[in-house]
Amino acid sequence: MKTLSHDEYEEKISKLRTLDDLNDFAKDLIAPVLQKMLEGEMESHLGYSKHSPAGKNTGNSRNGYSSKTLKSKYGEMELAVPRDRNGGFEPEAVRKYQTVDNAVEEKIISMYAKGMSTRDINAHMQDIYGVEISSTMVSSITDKVLPLLAEWQDRPLPPLYAVLYLDGIHFKVRDNGRIMNKCCYTVLGINMEGRKEVLGLWVAETEGAKFWMSVLTDLKNRGTEDVLIACTDGLKGFKEAIAAVFPN
């Protein structure tokens, strides 16, 4: 099971015509995340990663997969549930005998929104599933899911956007036990077909033209060669930063 490439994503978006089309598209986004969570739970259960020498002589190992059809509000999803040789693996993301999804999609999204600290995710998973999971399991799950986010953030972009909206959103976060302010640099694009697309999210301590320059350079490195209109606030040096990367 693989995530969608940028071209596949654009192709599926362009072909959305009915509710069934939308349901299929949602499944293509959600099913890989569920699969990664299952893989992360198995890694936590065994105590070592796949193909790691640490698994030798531990008394238990991976033993292939069993197929599962999960019925959700978006239709049926085909998943491959990992098995261990001792038969003791009991996944929480999709329970062993569960065939009907209990709004798992919203649970995954809310897990992201809750924050990525092991304490917060542990508390949230306990609230969702009614079970307590270890910080090791939480870390294993998030370690499996984070590459999907990185793949989205680094995906190739079209060469031209009609409009880019660039703005920084300020919020408070807990970092190493301290509450501090952070700025999330947000870029919303409108492509030449008139569709909106979030190009990426970047987090820094404060908002400044210098960091915006690095964000714009990242967009250019990912394939965007020009922008017709850039919409910004009056941040000092912002206009010059844009002109330096997209001079036209």
150/202 Cα distance (integer angstroms): 11
Q: What does the pLDDT look like over 12-30, one tens digit per residue? A: 667 767 766 776 777 777 7
Q: Which residues are CB-contacts of 247 (< 8 A; sequence separation ≥ 6)?
A: none
105-146 tens-digit pLDDT: 455 545 555 454 556 666 665 665 544 556 666 666 667 677
* The pLDDT value given to residue 98: 58
Inter-residue contact 140 to 43 (CB < 8 Å): yes
* Distance from C-alpha of 80 to C-alpha of 34, rounded to nearest angstrom: 10
Tell me, letter by letter, the H, E, C secondary structure of 179-239: EEEEEEEEEEEECCCCCEEEEEEEEECCCCHHHHHHHHHHHHHCCCCEEEEEECCCCCCHH
**Looking at residue 105, what is its pLDDT?**
45
What distance in Å separates the CA atoms of residue 49 and residue 54, rounded to the nearest whole number? 8
- What is the share, in percent, of the chain residues with pLDDT greater than 70? 72
Assign 121 to helix, strand or coil: helix
Mean pLDDT of all residues in 53-68: 84
Q: What is the pLDDT of residues 84-99, one digit of tens each?
A: 888 888 887 777 655 5
Per-residue pLDDT reduced to its tens digit, 168-205 = 988 887 777 678 888 899 999 999 999 999 999 998 88
Asked if residues 230 and 166 have their Cβ atoms less than 8 Å apart, the reply is: yes
pLDDT of residue 124: 62
DSSP at 100: B
**123, burial (CB in 10 Å: exposed 0-12, middle 13-18, buried 19+):** middle
Q: Which 8-state DSSP code applies to residue 117? A: -
